[in-house]
Amino acid sequence: MLLTLSPTPVPTLAAAGSPNFIWNHQRRYLEGAQSIAQALFDALDDDLHPYVQLLALPLDDASELLVCQEPVASSLPADLFAGLVAQGLTCPAVGVRPAALLPDSDVNPAQLRQRYENRSIRALVQRALDELEENAHYQHFTGWPVRIGGFLVFTLLRVQRKPLRTYPSLQPDRFYTDGKPLANSLLVGAVYRFNEECIKSLNEPEPGAGFLFRPRETDELLRAAGKSLLDTPAHALGADPSMAQLFFTFNTISSLRYEGAEGIGRLLLVQRGHPNVEEVFALTCPTELSDYRAVRKLLEMTSQDVHLLADAEKVYALGRQVGHYDASREDLFDIHFVTHYAWEFSHAGQVLLRARYGLPTLPRPRLNRTRFKRDLKRTFDVHQADKVAHLWDVVLEASKQPKGTLLVITTEALAEADRLKLQCTLIEPVPLTPLITQLITSIDGAVLLDPEGYCYSIGVILDGKATGNGTSTRGARYNSAVRYVESSPYPCLVVVVSEDGMVDVLTKENLAESRQ
């Protein structure tokens, strides 16, 4: 199924026999690639609006073949790519890292030269796309080219530039020893994983036919993107990323309990002797990070000031960060174990990745006022600025509850309070204020209120039919909210505040969109 992205118009796809038709299943390939991109990047930030395009450049500039693009309606200027293939074939080292030019004993010289040519041409295409005027609004990412029917076929991914810029990243231009680039952010890691899926599909005997290629699930791609990002600090500290496996390591440590207690504390990834680290005491025998239970036990000794010190391979001491750290060094990284199975990866005070139950996410704001306003409008047709502001203040206060809470906003709050009276505490209807919200969200159960901001009951135990749309990676609070929203015959919006600080706004529309 081809997903249409707002505000992008419905694309016009090339038909067999048209100038933009190259192979039999290119339409199915494009639809599949769009579907993968939509699911992957919507899971990270649904404001990115990923849009996939195909670009095919003739290998022989002297041939009568033209530059082909799909969808036709969103074609880029063809003259933008004039001469790029010839230039890349003439100078196959253009845009290729020196490390990538090392001989590979497993690849014959012809294949090696073709690899360099492809990388050079890809670098030239990316450079051309970066110079587009429309890049004030969009960022294009060029996939690796595959040779099909006399063409070099590129899969282009376009995303909105504004949300892309809101997330911090490390410095670019770090590379594995084989010349492949390291991810400097979770989003870039996701782009690399998307490109890998496209390459695998395009290299099948019938690209897009769907018989041989099965793309990985979105969760698998997200975990692979998280692994890519955590390879970067390992590389920066001189460790072998493939051996360090930092993303898997921190997921495992965060999942362990010690004498029933969840792991909370910090670990600094830093080489011994760093000028901004002071050791409190050292371990005679450093503990391997892969000895997960031993590291989890050591984590019990950490405090707000004193952290574990590790060099991406071993924990060698407990210590603290001192002085002013020069962020341009990028050789001191912070791993914060927030709660059970939840941790954060930061650099210089900026969170680059949050992981919960093994899945990485972007450091998105706890609440987004624009989205909340949109959800109120879609669910209750609330437009008045004062009502929106009132409800926003209530939700903002509830989001500060350290033990988590539930806010249920429904048009039939009074009727629901009466229906659930045996599993809640009824109160006299009262307009919520930040102070009252702080008080009533301090106990277990949900708070029931109407779109006017009046509260009718507290400590509510929600009911609802199981629909099979919950998730085992989230707790009872979240899943009960999903059941309630999907079962409610009335318009409703539920705000779920988790103990780890995550905030979810659930409506029927949001849940339906998340499953597309």
pLDDT tens digits, residue range 293-348? 999 999 999 999 999 999 999 999 999 999 999 999 999 999 999 988 999 999 99
**Concatenated DSSP letters of 443-502:** SSSEEEE-TTSEEEEEEE-------S---TTS-HHHHHHHHHHHH-SS-EEEEEE-TTS-
Low-confidence winner among 26-35, 61-70, 248-257 (lowest mean pLDDT): 61-70
Structure tokens at 91: 């100078």
Domain boundaries, the chain: 26-215, 241-361, 369-514
Cα 489 from Cα 512, distance rounded (Å): 16
Quick one: pLDDT at residue 500?
66
Quick one: pLDDT at residue 367?
78
Whether the pLDDT of residue 7 is over 50: the answer is no
Cα 121 from Cα 81, distance rounded (Å): 10
Question: Considering the chain, what percentage of its residues have pLDDT values greater than 70?
Answer: 87
Cα 16 from Cα 14, distance rounded (Å): 7
pLDDT tens digits, residue range 422-447? 999 999 999 999 999 999 999 999 99
Structure tokens at 108: 């014959």
Quick one: pLDDT at residue 442?
92
DSSP 8-class letter at 400: T
- CATH entry 3.40.1700 includes domain 241-361: yes
Does this chain's domain 241-361 share its CATH topology with 369-514?
A: yes
Quick one: pLDDT at residue 360?
96
Whether the pLDDT of residue 190 is over 80: the answer is yes
Q: What is the mean pLDDT of residues 206-235?
A: 86
12 falls in which pLDDT band (50, 70, 90)?
very low
Whether 506 contacts 494, CB under 8 Å: yes
The more confidently predicted of residues 231 and 80 is: 231
Radius of gyration of the chain (CA): 26
Quick one: pLDDT at residue 173?
85
Q: Which residues contact 101 (CB under 8 A, 6 or more apart)?
A: 93, 116, 179
Quick one: pLDDT at residue 208?
80
Quick one: pLDDT at residue 438?
93
DSSP 8-class letter at 181: B
Q: pTM of this prediction? A: 0.77
Quick one: pLDDT at residue 437?
94
Whether 494 contacts 398, CB under 8 Å: no
**Concatenated DSSP letters of 70-133:** ESGGGPPPGGGGTTHHHHHHHSTTTT--GGGGS--TTS-HHHHHHHHHHHHHHHHHHHHHHT-G
pLDDT tens digits, residue range 73-132? 778 888 889 889 988 888 766 655 545 555 555 667 888 888 888 889 999 999 999 988
292 falls in which pLDDT band (50, 70, 90)?
very high
Quick one: pLDDT at residue 11?
40
Q: What is the CATH number of domain 369-514?
A: 3.40.1700.10
φ/ψ bin of 265: left (φ > 0), alpha (ψ from -120 to 50), beta (otherwise): left
Whether the pLDDT of residue 137 is over 70: the answer is yes
Quick one: pLDDT at residue 9?
37
Structure tokens at 158: 């376009």
pLDDT tens digits, residue range 197-207? 999 999 888 88
Closest C-alpha to 31, from 7, 6, 55, 51: 51
Identity of the amino acid at 402: P
pLDDT tens digits, residue range 277-289? 999 999 999 999 9
Identity of the amino acid at 245: Q
Closest C-alpha to 74, from 12, 29, 118, 128: 12
How much is the mean pLDDT over the chain?
87
pLDDT tens digits, residue range 451-463? 999 999 999 999 8
Whether 496 contacts 478, CB under 8 Å: yes
φ/ψ bin of 454: left (φ > 0), alpha (ψ from -120 to 50), beta (otherwise): beta
pLDDT tens digits, residue range 450-503? 999 999 999 999 987 766 666 666 678 888 899 999 999 999 999 998 876 678
Quick one: pLDDT at residue 351?
94
Quick one: pLDDT at residue 25?
85
Quick one: pLDDT at residue 299?
96
